[in-house]
Chains A and B, each alone.
Chain A
Amino acid sequence: MLALIYFLILGVIAVGGALCVLLSKHPLYGALSLVVTMLSLAGIYGLLGSPFVGVVQVMVYAGAIMMLLTFVIMVLNGARDNRTPRFDKISLFVIPAIILMALMLSFLILRTPLVFNPETARGTVSLTAATLFDTSASGPGYFLLFEAIGLLLLSAMATAVILAKKKLGSPETSDSEEVH
């Protein structure tokens, strides 16, 4: 019962934030609404018995990625986009697609039997670790994927550093602005 109340509150905030992302004219407001959505999603993850995923959501998405996005919006001076119309010709395709997808999703959700026990732990630290790294129990699939993603991110970081260095040229000025 308590979990349901929390879920309703967080769900309303999440959906409202997502709507604000679509409807706000200014990019910074959109980014801020996205932060609110991310935070309430983190709360829902915690409610589902996976606090680890929720906290990672706060750290990575709300903390780092959205901060980066705000940085970019402020650097590019997004205030100029204030006069972009909310609906234009492309909306003719986008809006029906969104409605269709919402209908399909709601059909799926209504058809699935919802057996939900909030007491079960789904994404605890030890459970996540066991799923990822205990290859004898869950097979090597997750482990290989994890390593591949790690390699990809590392190479992306190295590439960003090299690209930034090439563009700025002189070794004294920092490649700081581009790296993160």
Chain B
Amino acid sequence: MMEIINSKHWIEWLLIVAKFAFAFVPVLFILLLIPMERRGAGFIQDRQGPNRSYFWLPYFGRIRLFGWVQNACDGLKLFTKEIYAPNGVNKILFALAPAIPFVIVLISPCVIPWFAPMVFTMGDQVVRVSGNTVDSEVGILLLFGLSSLSAYGAVLAGWASKSKYSLLGGLRTSAMTISYEVCLGLSIMGMLLMVGSFRIDDIIAWQEAHVWGIVAQPIAFFCFLISMIAETGRAPFDVAEGEPELVAGFHTEYGAMQFGLFYMGEYSHIGINSILVACLFLGGYSVPFFSQTTIQANMGYSLAVLCGVFILLILTFLHMIYRYSRWYKTSAATNKTVILREYSLYKLLGWVAIPALAIIGVASALFIHPEFTLVDGKAVYGLGIAFGTALIQILVLLVKACFFCFVWIWVRWTLPRFRYDHVMNLGWKVILNIALVNLVITAVVAKLVLGGN
């Protein structure tokens, strides 16, 4: 046992354990996705969306956080409701089914690289920590395998509920998972063929060296995106829970937190899939136009630019707040004093954050001068620089993923639901064939141009 412990530096063990926290990132995406979905739906349908829930602060009054408080209300409602099972259901499977998608969601992000492998010096030792929790060479295959397992939750729920609607929903889910799993695998194969590895960090490194996947494989990108949306089972592909036909599909009989687990599983699945699309086709954690060595060599300026970006975002936010305030002041709204009081909090926070960020940015540009030691002809920096690089890369990855989260919501509220046979036709007759042809063409071109064997 001791030799296993001694084989790694203590900081490496610490980071390996700390990386398990990344399992919760897709779950945290729920916090982003629920307000995004509800207010985004409102935005697309030209209405407000739920923005009335608030908490109360002493001076500023009702704080609504632009509908963000709705998260807590939704969660509280689901948690406090009674867990209820109808008569005659299969008790064990009925209770087990909602847990399956949620457990899968917790273990599947283990192969996603959140930052480039950290290489740094600690004392006189060079430590290397990979960016993903499980540094396995099967990478993306593990992710696909796990995501195909998560459909068992819906299938078992449909069967255990002893309801015809639920059973039909479960049947449709299993049929759709099988169909779109094939498209998903085939559409990514062209990319894997060019990279020559299943590891997601290898795919990202290839994109850093050449071009982003969306440029190299545009057809595969769209096939992959459509299959991904179909696999999460969201509109326009939500035939498994189509309200006009099946009441609510496989979770008709569920309520309270059992329904909540399905709900959270679905949203976290969106989060994972967004991160995956960002990794495979949008360069993942790689910062556009800057290589990792440039960022590490100029860490101070990189952090200053990061602070500048944050300041810009806060200024945009403040501009929005001031415009709203001006509008409310002249309007005849009865609650305008309450809203203006609430906005004064946002203004205060914004104006405190901007100088603070400016000071941090200027200080980091002035005082951070990374020192490096040469190891095998490459500059290796200390722990702080490695953490800074990792921070920037995680933020870049999350920004790319958030964009795709919006794509999911955008698609959902733009397109009407497809009929079941249309979905199957699209999967088997259109996307599968396009993906196959794309794979063959990619193979031929890769053989001719890149000249591999």
Contacts and interface: CB of A to CB of B under 8 A. Distances in A.
Interface of A: 28, 32, 35, 51-52, 54-56, 58-59, 62-64, 67-68, 70-71, 74-75, 124-126, 161, 173-177, 179-180
A108 to B, nearest CB: 31
A62 B149 contact: yes
B152 A35 contact: yes
A67 B198 contact: no
B141 A56 contact: yes
B208 to A, nearest CB: 21
Contacts of B167: 74
B340 to A, nearest CB: 55
Q: What band does the interface of chain B fall in when counting residues whose beta carbon is under 8 Å from A? A: 35 or more
A70 B149 CA distance: 12
Nearest to A58: B145
Interface in B382-426: 420-422, 424-425
Given A52-B137, A64-B181, A179-B179, 16 more contacts: A56-B141, A58-B142, A58-B149, A59-B144, A59-B185, A67-B151, A71-B155, A71-B175, A74-B174, A125-B198, A126-B137, A161-B428, A176-B179, A176-B420, A176-B428, A180-B179
A44 to B, nearest CB: 15
Given A74-B167, A74-B170, A64 B178 contact: yes
A58 B148 CA distance: 9
B6 to A, nearest CB: 16
A124 B198 CA distance: 11
B175 A177 contact: yes
A124 B145 contact: no
B227 interface: no
Nearest to A56: B141
Contacts of A71: 155, 171, 174-175, 178
Contact of B148 (A54, A64, A75): A64
Interface string B184-202: 0100000000000110000
Nearest to A77: B167
A54 B136 CA distance: 12
B421 A174 contact: yes
Given A63-B149, A64-B148, A74-B167, A176 B175 contact: yes
A12 to B, nearest CB: 20
B273 interface: no
A48 to B, nearest CB: 14
Nearest to A129: B196
A56 to B, nearest CB: 7
Given A52-B137, A52-B138, A55-B141, A67 B178 contact: yes
A140 B181 CA distance: 31
A interface, over-half SS: helix
A38 to B, nearest CB: 10
A35 to B, nearest CB: 7
Contact of B138 (A32, A51, A175): A51
Contacts of A55: 138, 141-142, 145
Given A62-B149, A63-B149, A67-B155, A125 B138 contact: yes
A28 B179 CA distance: 21
17 contacts: A35-B152, A55-B142, A55-B145, A59-B141, A59-B144, A63-B144, A63-B149, A67-B152, A71-B175, A125-B138, A174-B424, A176-B421, A176-B425, A176-B428, A179-B179, A179-B428, A180-B428
B3 to A, nearest CB: 12
A28 B151 contact: no
A74 B424 contact: no
B142 A70 contact: no
Nearest to A39: B149
B370 to A, nearest CB: 36
A116 to B, nearest CB: 19
A67 B159 CA distance: 13
Contacts of B149: 58, 62-63
A68 B141 contact: no
A59 B198 CA distance: 14
B171 A59 contact: no
A155 to B, nearest CB: 15
A63 B138 contact: no
